[in-house]
């Protein structure tokens, strides 16, 4: 399915490498102007070159998501420059350490929660009014299968992703009567730096390249998406609903 995102403004966090990089590139190829965030300036500049080569356009915003005030300023800057935001891809995340819960260092646990959960909430708070100014605001937030599988030794990361999915479901409930649609996404194991850190013995060639995953994320931010508050499983190619019946 070819998605036309001409005249859309899209914000992508974690755009310096991995899934975020290729999602930003795909969004730009589909016509969106991409606001690309991450700490690594070199990665963002590589992305900018790739986007320009593909005939697209981007604005680079290098900053650390642990800087909550910077997230607030980002929302204000987007409002001043574009007056709206059409697409949010909250993709940035960190793994922390793989170890028994009782062995996780406090500073690691706090950092994972800060970057994966608190920054995601802060980002939602910062850009929600801008997404509401779009005719068809769309947000996707990257989660992980471990939020449900509760795989031993993945404690901080798994807990952070479960928290993010809950935030998305609540946000979706609060905005259900608006044109905004917000969903979580489980990309499945993907050939990136984070996956190599998490599963060092694995042959990366056995995993999908992040560009393959990115191509499957673009339809999730199109005007046609009707689902909200769901989890999209990239490998299965479908939305699922983990909500308990009330």
Determine phi and psi for 176, rounding to 5 degrees: -55, -35
- Tell me the C-alpha distance between 50 and 103, whole Å: 42
Report if residue 64 touches ligand NDP, rule: CB under 6 A: yes
Out of 31, 39, 99, 151, the only residue in the binding site for ligand NDP (CB under 6 A) is 39
* Rg over CA atoms, the chain: 17
- Tell me the C-alpha distance between 160 and 146, whole Å: 10
Using CB under 6 A as the binding rule, the residues of this chain from 4 to 33 that contact ligand NDP are 14-20
Report if residue 93 touches ligand NDP, rule: CB under 6 A: yes
Tell me, residue by residue from 143 to 182, as one string, x for binding to ligand NDP by CB under 6 A and - for no binding: -x--------------------------------------
Report if residue 194 touches ligand NDP, rule: CB under 6 A: yes
What order do you get walking across the sheet with 231-233 strand by strand? Answer: 57-62, 33-38, 9-13, 87-90, 138-142, 181-186, 231-233, 238-240
Span of 48-56, 81-89, 186-194, 219-227 interacting with ligand NDP by CB under 6 A: 186-194
Report if residue 65 touches ligand NDP, rule: CB under 6 A: yes
> Residue 168: which of 85, 243, 88, 230 has the closest Cα?
230
Confirm if 15 and 47 have CB atoms less than 8 A apart.
Answer: yes
Out of 40, 57, 149, 178, the only residue in the binding site for ligand NDP (CB under 6 A) is 40
- Tell me the C-alpha distance between 18 and 224, whole Å: 26
Question: Helix 210-217 crosses helix 18-29 at what angle (to 10 degrees)?
Answer: 50
Span of 28-36, 128-136, 191-199, 232-240 interacting with ligand NDP by CB under 6 A: 191-199
User: With CB under 6 A, what is the number of residues at the site for ligand NDP?
Assistant: 29
> Residue 225: which of 116, 100, 136, 111 has the closest Cα?
136
Report if residue 78 touches ligand NDP, rule: CB under 6 A: no
Determine phi and psi for 162, rounding to 5 degrees: -60, -40
Out of 195, 218, 228, 229, the only residue in the binding site for ligand NDP (CB under 6 A) is 195
Using CB under 6 A as the binding rule, the residues of this chain from 109 to 128 that contact ligand NDP are 115
Q: Is 157 a catalytic residue?
A: yes
**Mind telling me the catalytic residues?**
157
Interface residue list for ligand NDP (CB under 6 A): 14-20, 38-40, 43, 64-66, 91-94, 115, 142, 144, 187, 189-190, 192-195, 210
């Amino acid at each position: 399915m070819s998605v036309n995102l001409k005249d859309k403004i899209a914000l992508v966090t974690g755009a310096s490498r991995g899934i975020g990089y290729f999602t930003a590139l795909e969004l730009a190829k589909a016509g969106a102007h991409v606001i690309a965030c991450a700490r690594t300036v070199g990665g963002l500049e590589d992305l900018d070159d790739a986007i320009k080569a593909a005939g697209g356009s981007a604005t680079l915003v290098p900053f650390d998501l642990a800087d909550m005030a910077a997230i607030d300023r980002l929302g204000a800057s987007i409002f001043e420059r574009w007056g709206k935001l059409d697409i949010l891809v909250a993709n940035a995340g960190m793994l922390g350490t793989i170890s028994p819960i009782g062995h996780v260092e406090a500073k690691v646990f706090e950092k994972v929660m800060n970057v994966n959960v608190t920054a995601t909430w802060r980002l939602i708070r910062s850009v929600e009014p801008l997404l509401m100014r779009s005719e068809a605001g769309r947000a996707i937030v990257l989660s992980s299968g471990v939020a449900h599988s509760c795989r031993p030794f993945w404690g901080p990361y798994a807990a952070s992703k479960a928290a993010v999915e809950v935030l998305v479901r609540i946000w979706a409930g609060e905005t259900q009567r608006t044109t905004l649609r917000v969903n979580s996404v489980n990309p499945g194991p993907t050939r990136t730096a984070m996956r190599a850190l998490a599963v060092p013995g694995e042959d990366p060639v056995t995993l999908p390249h992040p560009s393959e995953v990115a191509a499957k994320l673009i339809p999730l931010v199109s005007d046609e998406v009707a689902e909200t508050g769901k989890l999209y499983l990239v490998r299965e190619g479908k939305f699922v609903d983990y909500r308990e019946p009330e």
